[in-house]
Chains A and B, each alone.
Chain A
Amino acid sequence: METRPPILEIRRLAKAFGGLKVTHDVSFAVRKGELSAIIGPNGAGKTTLFNLITGKLVPDGGEVLYKEERIDGLHPADIARRGIGRAFQITSIFKERTALENVLVAVLARESRTTRMIRRALSHGPEVRESMELLSMVALADRANERAGSLPHGDQKRLDIAVALALNPELVLLDEPMAGMSPEERSVTVDLIRKIWKEKALTLLFIEHDMDVVFRISEWIRVLNQGVLLAEGTPDEISRNREVITAYLGEEIDE
């Protein structure tokens, strides 16, 4: 595992809002192909970290390297084009459009077809077919023509993931992909995420609060606490880490 080259490297990353250091001297490397979780209590700076990687926020200090090139400070659109896809904690979809149109616009964007003004978007056969495949991958094919905003919460979350995948990313960041889902939906989504990760040979980083899920599917876990990277390691190592247990895991692991 250690021999895989890093696809993403975070070096001494720092971000403060006013006086509050939300990301404080964080460094780590994500190896190509890994399926890893970022955990930490609320306010640990997990989403901020994703925002710094994807260009929504510009770091105060440090570097973000993607495939050995610096991407910190780039426009989110440019970072997305380089192959980093993202799904959001608060589901971020195009609510008044159909599920199919949500994915289709992402596929068309990836192929730089969005300056076309003559042919209908829905008449782009190969792109529509690919969008349908993506929808069936997240078990939404039979809801393709429904308005995205009227889908149940769990479906919207999976649609968000499908939109991120439509960009054919190599690195995917999922921010609490299972938040607010029922236990049944959770287990379906966990299997789905693992399947997609395998089939598409992705590097997948996810933030999650459900420790069962985290320890079941992650190859690697990073623990953030108050803006600092407290520890990283295999699920086994993390579950035995004294510091992590006292800071965070203690009460949650033996509910």
Chain B
Amino acid sequence: MKGPSAASGNVARGQLFQWIAVLLFFALVPLGRRSFFITMANEVLIMGLFAMAFNLLYGVTGMLSFGQAAYYGAGGYTVGLLLTKGVLPYSVALPLAPVVGAALALLLGPLCIRLSGVYFTMLTLAFAELVWGVVFKWYGFTGGDNGIQGIPVPEWFHHPLHYYYFTLAVVVAAVAILRRIVESPFGAVLQSIRENPERTAFLGIRVRRYQLASMVISGAVSGLAGGLFAGFHRSIGPDMLHWTKSGEVILMSILGGIFSFFGPLVGAGVILFIEDMIGKYTEFWEIWIGGTMLAIVIFFPQGVIGTLYQWTHRKVSRERDGNATAHP
């Protein structure tokens, strides 16, 4: 009999490997001594965190939100407004970004989860567009389509490498928390809801409460990513809340693999790499994104990481089965 502890041991080892690979990669980027790559890696970390927050809803809980940009933008504008209006320092404003993201999700979530499937998706899009509309039109407060420029982040952060390490630390901490949540009893319920919401209810669980909780956590982490972006770029605009931003994280997650934990991060890396690198040589970089998407869908139906995992896993289980028959 294969005990459950053996399985969790395997899982833990696989996870450790993933963590080491991710950390090593991002720690080694600055060695290239090219600020271009540091900036790109910084963007990848921020968008990767945002995509993982989105994927808590989609890949884990099974709710496809097309409006996560609202929470990302809420976090960004929290930092931008508090700093430019001189209300609070960055050290207080940034922690408030996830709080505002969560609060917005707590407000909009109950309205969205009334419906499920594609209707839920349409509601998330509709409310996010509403938030975007407010930010876009409210010149007196948000700066309208001009956005906010020159966000006064402390001097120390102006050095790309400093901000990069700061982002890395925050993102690693947030991702570690997300991972714990996914594997906790609460996360087990979220995954049960994704698989079979009706059966989950028959376990005595109020499905909608957990769906709302998932939206709030995702909103908080999206807000944190938005806050990090505001400090990184030091100028923000309503495009942070635009539906194309919501679409970007969907694309990144699917590309990387929605059922693999680090998939969205890898997807963010691939898309931003294409945008930045190929964007330098041609204005038609979107064709490359389209082409990559096509290739991924055909050759990596589970996303890059998901399909790679499946390949290695299949190999391992074949070997294990072989051993099992050899030594019964």
Contacts and interface: CB of A to CB of B under 8 A. Distances in A.
Interface stretch (B67-75, B137-145, B188-196): B188-196
Interface stretch (A58-66, A96-104, A191-199): A96-104
Contacts of A128: 4
Nearest to B199: A92
Contacts of B2: 142, 144-145
Contact of B205 (A77, A88, A141): A77
Contact of B202 (A76, A114, A121, A124): A76
Nearest to B206: A77
Contacts of B7: 98, 100, 122, 144-145
Contact of B183 (A96, A113, A120): A120
Interface residues of B, number: 32
Interface residues of A, number: 46
A13 B202 CA distance: 21
Contact of B4 (A86, A113, A115, A132): A132
Nearest to B198: A92
B180 A114 contact: no
Interface in A151-166: 163
A110 B183 CA distance: 18
B76 interface: no
A94 B4 contact: no
29 contacts: A75-B201, A75-B206, A77-B202, A77-B204, A77-B205, A92-B196, A92-B199, A94-B192, A94-B199, A96-B195, A97-B192, A97-B195, A100-B7, A101-B188, A108-B188, A109-B189, A109-B204, A110-B204, A114-B205, A115-B185, A120-B8, A121-B188, A122-B183, A128-B4, A132-B4, A141-B1, A144-B4, A145-B2, A167-B203
Interface of B: 1-2, 4, 6-8, 11, 180-181, 183-189, 191-192, 194-196, 198-199, 201-207, 210, 259
Interface of A: 54, 56, 75-78, 80-81, 86, 88, 92-98, 100-101, 104-106, 108-110, 113-124, 128, 131-132, 141-142, 144-145, 163, 167
